[in-house]
Amino acid sequence: MKTIIAAALVAATAILSTPAMAQFQKPEDAIKYRKASLTVMATHFGRIGAMVNNRAPFDAKVAADNAALVETMSKLPWAAFGAGTDKGETRALPAIWTEQAKFKEGAEKMQAEVAKLSAAAKTGNLDSIKTAFGAAGQSCKACHDNFRKE
């Protein structure tokens, strides 16, 4: 019995302390996951963009709902940039892995800016949303310029 409990504890510890990468069975699963999460994020960001750029009527609730989704999605892609996920169907540049601190900083900057966008959207003030949307878009672009192939 003691042996079983000990084995279970060892297994649980291994699962809980496994690096993020091991959430994915294969590198291509991680690549698919990060692309999917970025695509969903971009879709909801774009819906706010349509209102900010007068391509859609402004609706405060739609803006707030989409910004909340962007904020949630912004947390997801990063665990899927683990070691060994640099090859395959990806535009990710090697700099992601050779300049990890800079990449992390960019990812955190983006997450901070979209959190501000979500806060602005909750106020319903279109001018604040426009300002925050611009800053968030810049934070997307900064990483694309440095870490993504054309």
Binding site for ligand ASC (CB under 6 A): 42, 45-46, 49, 137, 140-141
d(CA 102, CA 108): 10
Q: From the CB of 63, what's the least distance to ligand ASC, in Å?
A: 14
Joined tokens for residue 42:
């971009």
Q: From the CB of 38, what's the least distance to ligand ASC, in Å?
A: 8
Residue closer to ligand ASC, measured from CB, 18 or 43: 43
Joined tokens for residue 68:
């909340």
Q: From the CB of 17, what's the least distance to ligand ASC, in Å?
A: 34
Residue closer to ligand ASC, measured from CB, 21 or 146: 146
**Hey, how many other C-beta atoms are within 10 angstroms of the C-beta on 67?**
27
Residue closer to ligand ASC, measured from CB, 49 or 124: 49
Q: Is 58 helix (H, G, I), strand (E, B) or coil?
A: coil
Residue closer to ligand ASC, measured from CB, 42 or 62: 42
Q: From the CB of 43, what's the least distance to ligand ASC, in Å?
A: 8
What percentage of the chain's residues is helix, strand, coil (to nearest 5)?
Answer: 75, 0, 25
Joined tokens for residue 129:
């949303």
